[in-house]
Amino acid sequence: MRTFEGKMRVGRHARVSVVVSRFNGFITEPLLAGAAAVLREQGVADDAISVHWVPGAFEIPVAAGRIAKGEKADAIVCLGALIRGDTPHFDYISAEVTRGLGALAIEHDLPIVYGILTCDDVKQARARSGDDAANKGREAAAVAIEMMDLFRTMDGRA
């Protein structure tokens, strides 16, 4: 039986784009810091990491789609923070962002990583964006690295 699995190895030549929502920046900025730290730890050069700020989570899929079409990224990490409020807005936005990013990943055959927090309150969001191993930006970057390596392995390039 042949088994394919991505590893935490990416090499210096990887290009990663990160799309980050400015809305709830007190949460998304630490997510970005966590993602950038993991990418650097894994050897991705600073000049191979591009960061694209968008107004809110709803705009993340369209920016990721534009990057997928033209930027030649090996992976796209999408970071945002949706915090439930008193209206159904949270449900609509989280569903559309999820659907949009999933469709893009399939359409472009590209690791597009979902690092969007969907939390009931600020306390949950802070717990997932702190300066520790629980930071979901770190986790999203690690997923991107594993997926890039998996794709290379599947293509016979690893």
> DSSP characters for 38-54?
HHHHTT--GGGEEEEEE
In the chain, what are the domains?
Answer: 16-153 (3.40.50.960)
pLDDT in tens, 49-95: 999 999 999 999 999 999 999 978 999 999 999 999 999 999 999 99
- Catalytically active residues are 89
SS3 content of the chain, % helix, strand, coil (to 5): 50, 20, 30
What is the model's pLDDT at position 11?
65
Q: Is the pTM of this model over 0.75?
A: yes
Instruction: Give 99's pLDDT tier (boundaries 50, 70, 90).
Output: very high
Return the SS3 of 8.
Answer: coil
